[in-house]
Structures are given as C-alpha cells and as structure tokens.
Amino acid sequence: MPATKPPAPPLLRPQATVMLSRVAHSLYWMSRYIERAENVARLLDVNLQLLVDFQGFTDTTIKEHWGSIIASSGDEEEYAKHYESADNRSVTEYFAFDLRNPNSIRACVNAARENARMIRDQISAEMWEIVNELYLYLQGRTADEVWASGALEFFANVKRSAHLFQGLTASTYSRSEGWEFIEFGKFIERADKTTRILDVKYHILLPSVSDVGGAVDTAQWQAVLRSASALEAYRRFYVREILPWKVAEFLIFSDSFPRSLAFCVAQVDEFLRRILGESATRPRTEAGRASRRLLTDLQALTITDVLGRGLHEFLMDIQDTLGAIGDEVVQTTMFYPAESSLEEQQQQQQQ
C-alpha cells in the first residue's frame, strides 16, 4: 500500500483558544514595546554622552552623527517632515517624546500600557504597576523640562524601569503559553535593535578587514558597544583592543552575550518552535524555516564572510527576515475571525 502523508500539525497547540490568541497579541506587543523603549533610551543616552565628551564636534559632524541614527531607524522621511535639522535637541525630542513618531519612547510606553491594560487580569499586579508608573512618569515630563533637569538622568530612569519590568516578569509570570509570547516578542525586538545599533556605524567598516586599520575612532566604537550594554562583556572577551571588526564579530556571533544577534536569534527560534508546536529538525511553517535558516547561517558564517558580503547588506537582510518571522507569527497565531456580538453574548450567558 502506498504510504499516506501524515496531516500537518496545527499552528497552535490543542489547548490554545481564541481568548489566548487575543491575550497573546497584547502580551507580545507589550513586551516588544517595553524592549523598544529601553533600546531607544540607551541609544540616545550613549550618543549624547559621546557628544558631551568630544566638545570639538562641528555642526556638520553633529548632523552626520545624528543622521546615521535617523537613517538606521528608517525614519528619515518622517523626521524631515517635522524637523528642519538633525541636532541634539531635535533628534532627542523626536525619539523620546514626539507621538508623531510611533517608535518614540513615549509612544512605545503608551502602547505597552494600553496592551497591559487590556490584559490586567492576565499579568501580575507588579507588572502592571511598573508599566503604569513608567507611563505616568513620561506623562509628567516635557522635552524642555528634561533638558533643564538633565537628559541623562531621564534616560537612566527609563532604562531602570524597563529592567525592573523584565525582572518582575521573570519573577511573577507563570511559565505558560503567555510567557512564550512575552519572550518571543522581547528577543525578536532585541535582535532587530542590535542590528540597528551596529548599522549606525556600518559606513566605517570597509569590505576588507585588512583595509580598516587605525582610522576608526575608538570612542565611537565604544559608543556602539555601550549602546548594546556590551562594553564590559567585550573587554572581558577581547581584553584590550577595540577594533571595528571585533566589535561587529562580538555583537553578531557571541553565543553567550544576551544582546548579541546569535543569542537573540537562538531564543527567537526556541520560543517560536514552542509557540508553533514544531520540531527543531523539521519546521513546517515558513516562519519556522526562516528562523532555522537564520540560526544556521549565524552558526556557520564568520566575520570575514559578513564583511566580504557587506555589513550593511547583511544587517538589512537580517532585519527583513526578523520582520517576516514576526509578521507571520502575528497573523497565524494572534488573529482570528471576529465573532458577532450576538454569539459573544450567547457564550457569556452560557458561561
């Protein structure tokens, strides 16, 4: 008898429900938005400190400095609509407070709080309290007040609140399906932001490692590492030298540093398989196959391969892959046809 092809497994495990899909959507985006807010705060904080340390920067140098950050975020056109120049004040206001920028710190925290509010009964009281406190803290601040009192303290408070949220989540949230969506959202956002932090300085790295030499400003590459909270970890690994290709190698390929691309992608792959109920060896969805290919490539490539191909092009491909994985998971596990109000009323009455 000819062998029959076994049926494909469902995308969600049998116990997953329509209600879980809605809760999962809020958990996923709550986690992503908090992670995004923290990364934006760290990037602005580090680059402002860099400009303070080097008072000799000209207006042209400052414009190029902030221009690379705007370009890496993909917001060049939107920024140009609202601001005439890229200086310390304008860029900080756009990425910290401007609600016209959906990726600003305030917009991210607002979105995280709204998602948390919709699932207050599904998260711990401590998680809700820290998100709400961060929201209220931002509501009571303006760009002028932050500049007057000290921008660095403001960014430190945002980062501290984000770290507290992650610690409370790890300590108070059950290791259930919801936890998998929280972690998946956090690591896919972190991986994306690591590529963007490194892409800020991609133009300094030349295609050949032998061509780089000593022209790269060490302080700028220290800023890249500090933007990813990786300076101390890098120094423990390489001890002395801060060289551009080594910075790129560490932030891309380290399998032990929790903000490196390889580490984050490994976590994305792990939680993706749990969410989709797939095996590690035979993923059946496009998201699962893309995740597995990405992880395999990161395990097989070297920094020489990446620089030979072009660092910027490599990072852009990674961003596209991560975006496609996230989009498919959202569409296949978090959205279902809406039920009619009559059906919902009948279900509530039955319950």
| pTM across the whole model | 0.84
Q: How many domains is the chain partitioned into structurally?
A: 2
Does some domain include residue 2? no
Tell whether the model's pLDDT for residue 259 goes beyond 90. Answer: yes
- Do 93 and 143 form a contact (C-beta atoms < 8 A)? yes
Does some domain include residue 38? yes
CA 68 to chain centre: 18
Tell whether the model's pLDDT for residue 264 goes beyond 90. Answer: yes
CA distance 49 to 194: 19
Question: What is the dihedral sign for C-alpha 64, 70, 76, 80?
Answer: negative
168, 181: one domain? no
186, 168: one domain? no
| Per-residue pLDDT tens over the stretch 56-95 | 566 677 777 788 888 888 888 889 888 888 888 888 899 9
- Per-position DSSP letters for 88-142, written without gaps between them: HHHHHHHHHT-TTSTTSHHHHHHHHHHHHHHTGGGS-HHHHHHHHHHHHHHHT--
219, 87: one domain? no
Tell whether the model's pLDDT for residue 322 goes beyond 60. Answer: yes
Domain of 318, in residue numbers? 175-335
Does some domain include residue 342? no
